[in-house]
Structure 1
Amino acid sequence: MQNLTASNIPKNPHTAKNYIGKVLKDLLCEYKNTREERRQIGQWEESKNFSILGEIEIFTTDIEGCASQVINNDELENYQDIIKKLTKLNIFNISYFADWYFSEESQFPQIKLYIEKLNYLRLLIIEYISLHSIPSKN
């Protein structure tokens, strides 16, 4: 995946928004391809005191919501809050999730790729907002 960089974002924020939209759209399609792996994880989770799928759902919902705000708004009034939220929202900071993700790396390749791309989108949004959101002068 191509990274947004300081050299190309300021020149064309519209292109950056379109790219964020494309990554989001691709993720929505890829999520459907993880159905069987999600079923397997759900069965595995039945004996656990935590939910990998629950964390993925929260992560997905929060990032999709932030991506939609960026895509649908030219000015974000709460951009600092969004950056703080996305910075704090690092699924790999959840110890049991990280343990699951990094153990048996060959298991659940589609869902793990989905998580990686979702995390990539999170970072893209942080970068985009950091470069394009400046306080409005009233």
Structure 2
Amino acid sequence: MSLTECQLELKKLLLMELTMTNTTITNQNPELTKIHINQLLDQLIVDYQNTKSDRKAISAEFSISEAEFTVLEEIELLTTDIRGYANQIKVIGYLENVQEKIRILQKMRVFDIPIIAQLYFHTPGKYENFKSYLRMLDYLRLLILEYLNLSQAIS
């Protein structure tokens, strides 16, 4: 993937994030957002299982890294955090320390992590199931942010 193509893909992802985070609160319903979170969480569990062959190939290709964590370890950390927040919303309907969680989720941009960006933008035509999983994981992060902001607005 050329630098220009990478920049275009990054712009699309940023636009998706801006669209999600700048949604007018008065037009949104936190319960509807919660339903979307639950559906996406369930779908992500299935999608993750379907990335087994991609993960195996990624592990082989990206096994040697100067980074603190391998690309798969970075993704596991994100997955644990994001899906963990979604599970809490699904089970109990809220998160403790909402402001802190909002701040954490705003900083937790999947494609800002260099090793993940390298995998995503510099492997054209490879790992498409896994790349789709990453996009949906980031979308789940944005939905959780929306839910937290909406819930706060009506509290």
Q: Same fold (TM over 0.5)?
A: yes
> Pairwise mapping of residues 90-101 of structure 1 onto structure 2 (< 5 A)?
90-101=109-120
The residue type paired with residue 125 of structure 1 is I
Does 1:119 pair with 2:138? yes
Report the Cα offset of residue 135 of structure 1. 9.0
Corresponding residue of 2:36: 19
Number of residue pairs matched by the alignment: 132
RMSD: 2.2
Corresponding residue of 1:65: 84
Q: In structure 2, what is the Cα distance between the partners aligned to 1:135 and 1:124?
A: 17
TM-score (norm 2): 0.75
Report the Cα offset of residue 67 of structure 1. 0.8
Query: Which has the larger share of helix?
Result: 2
Q: In structure 2, what is the Cα distance between the partners aligned to 1:33 and 1:27?
A: 10
Unaligned runs of 5+ in 1: none
Q: In structure 2, what is the Cα distance between the partners aligned to 1:59 and 1:34?
A: 16
Between the aligned residues of both structures, percent identity stands at 36
Give the conservation status (yes or no) of the 8 Å contact 1:86–1:126: yes
Unaligned runs of 5+ in 2: 1-19
Question: Relative to structure 1, is the Cα distance of residues 112 and 14 closer, same or farther in structure 2, using a 3 angstrom cutoff?
Answer: same
Q: In structure 2, what is the Cα distance between the partners aligned to 1:32 and 1:57?
A: 13
Give the conservation status (yes or no) of the 8 Å contact 2:33–2:143: no
TM-score (norm 1): 0.84
Report the Cα offset of residue 134 of structure 1. 5.0
